[in-house]
């Protein structure tokens, strides 16, 4: 007869590996030293969710204004309506990003008809064609941003993806980055919009529109806004590195394995939501609540 002590030891040996297994941490848990930041906010009603989205949208425009992404009537953000996902909110034509408020936004359907919100001004036709194509092609995308930021436009002239030069660039590793190389002028046809939507691909988070500018997408306003600021800065760093390389300095790219590791531990929706929050919260502080009106 086997002693009871031996039976207990055998059972412990069998269960020990499972007992020692640690639950895999999320990227947000990994970056949080101590108590983890909370997840993306949830809302009890469509009305509350919609108002929050519009306020976040107004703040994102103010971020873009502060960072000098304004360019005449160009540039737009679209936010899928939480209750009616075949419609989206966008900004009115010819209103400066720095003064936009939640009440300024226009609700349009996939046919391009304004159906709600502030209809005192039209929406941007080119913006509608780009954003409607993206939202149709990617049901997972709730928010899309397009700007004519200076370094984004400059780097777009090369028609090349950003290289893995910096940790931030690795947030757009692999299929997360796309390039649209078929510039056909101002986007005024459905066909051009559809080509842009298709070029983003099923996993794209950011896209360089050759000779045009940048496009980013996300599940939240904060995510898409942050990726735009990240991508613009990455374009700036790429241009600086190219200038240095032209004078004989050698660029050193991040190894593929390291770039993938960085992407996998930094580019989930929760982490990217929080990456964008400092800029949005700063704009909320500076606007003194005006963005909510």
**Residue 79 to residue 84: CA distance in whole angstroms:** 11
SS (H, E, C) the chain: CCCHHHHHHHHHHHHHHHHHCCCCCCHHHHHCCCCCCCCCCCCCCHHHHHHHHHHHHHHHHHHHHHCCCCECCECEEEEECCCCCCEEEECECCCCHHHCCHHHCEEEECCCCEEEECCCCCECHHHHHHHHHHHHHCCCCCEEEEECCHHHHHHHCCCCCCCCCCCCHHHHCHHHEEEECCCCCCCCCHHHHHHHHHHHCCCCCEEEECCCEEEEEECCHHHHHHHHHHHHHHHHHHHHHHHHHHCCCCCCCCCHHHHHHHHHCCCCHHHHHHHHHHHHHHHHHHHCCHHHC
Does residue 83 have a pLDDT over 50? yes
Lowest mean pLDDT among 26-35, 97-106, 253-262, 272-281: 26-35
pLDDT at 185: 73
Fold of 49-287: L-fuculose-1-phosphate Aldolase (3.40.225)
Lowest mean pLDDT among 4-8, 68-72, 128-132: 4-8
Q: For the chain, what are the domain ranges?
A: 49-287
Lowest mean pLDDT among 17-31, 102-116, 119-133: 17-31
Does residue 276 have a pLDDT over 80? yes
Higher-scoring residue by pLDDT: 184, 233: 233
Higher-scoring residue by pLDDT: 230, 5: 230
Q: What are phi and psi of 216, to 5 degrees?
A: -130, 155
pLDDT at 182: 87
Is residue 16 very low, low, confident or very high in pLDDT (cuts 50, 70, 90)?
very low
pLDDT at 217: 98
Report the candidate in 214, 221, 205, 218 with the shortest Cα–Cα distance to residue 284: 221
Mean pLDDT (whole number) for 207-236: 98
Please write the tens of the pLDDT for every residue from 156-199: 999 999 999 999 999 999 999 999 998 877 776 788 889 999 99
Q: What are phi and psi of 123, to 5 degrees?
A: -85, 170
pLDDT at 7: 47
């Amino acid at each position: 007869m086997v002693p009871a002590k031996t039976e207990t030891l055998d059972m412990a040996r069998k269960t020990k590996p499972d007992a020692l297994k640690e639950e895999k941490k999320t990227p947000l848990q990994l970056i949080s030293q101590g108590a983890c930041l909370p997840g993306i906010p949830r809302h009890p009603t469509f009305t509350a969710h919609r108002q929050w989205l519009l306020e976040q949208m107004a703040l994102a425009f103010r971020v873009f204004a502060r960072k000098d992404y304004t360019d005449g009537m160009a540039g737009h953000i679209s936010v899928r309506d939480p209750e009616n996902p075949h419609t989206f909110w966008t900004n009115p034509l010819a209103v400066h990003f720095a003064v936009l408020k939640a009440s300024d936004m226009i609700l349009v359907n996939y046919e391009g008809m304004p159906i709600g919100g502030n209809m005192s001004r039209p929406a941007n036709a080119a913006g509608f064609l780009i954003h409607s194509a993206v939202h149709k092609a990617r049901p997972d995308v709730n928010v899309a941003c397009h700007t004519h930021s200076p370094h984004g436009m400059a780097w777009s002239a090369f028609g090349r993806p950003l290289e893995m030069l910096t940790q931030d660039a690795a947030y757009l590793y692999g299929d997360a980055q796309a390039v649209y190389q078929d510039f056909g002028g101002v986007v005024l046809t459905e066909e051009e919009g559809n080509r842009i939507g298709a070029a983003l691909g099923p996993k794209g988070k950011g896209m360089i529109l050759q000779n045009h500018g940048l496009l980013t997408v996300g599940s939240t306003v904060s995510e898409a806004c942050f990726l735009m600021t990240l991508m613009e800065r990455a374009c700036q760093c790429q241009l600086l590195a190219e200038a240095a390389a032209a004078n004989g300095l050698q660029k050193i790219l991040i190894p593929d394995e390291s770039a993938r590791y960085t992407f996998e531990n930094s580019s989930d929706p929760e982490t990217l939501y929080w990456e964008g929050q400092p800029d949005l919260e700063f704009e909320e502080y500076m606007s003194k609540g005006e963005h909510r009106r």
